[in-house]
Amino acid sequence: MISLAGIIINNAIVLIDRIRIEVEELGEPEAKAIIDACQQRLRPILLTTATTVLGMMPLWWGGTAMFKPMAISIMFGLAFATLLTLLVVPVLYAALFQVNFDQGNE
- Give per-residue pLDDT as tens, 58-95: 999 987 888 899 899 999 999 999 998 999 999 999 99
51, with CB counted inside 10 A (0-12, 13-18, 19+), is exposed
Please, what is the average pLDDT of the chain?
89
Q: Which distant-in-sequence residues (6+ apart) come within 8 Å of 64 by Cβ? A: none
Averaged over 28-52, what is the pLDDT? 92
pLDDT at 39 > cutoff 70: yes
Does CATH place domain 2-99 in 3.30.420.280? no
* pLDDT at res. 100: 87
pLDDT at 104 > cutoff 60: no
1 or 60: which leads in pLDDT: 60
Question: Cβ distance 56 to 78 under 8 Å?
Answer: no
Q: How confident is the model at residue 101 (pLDDT cuts 50, 70, 90)?
A: confident
Buried b (16+ CB within 10 A) or exposed e, 78-106: beebbeebbeebbeebbeeeebeeeeeee
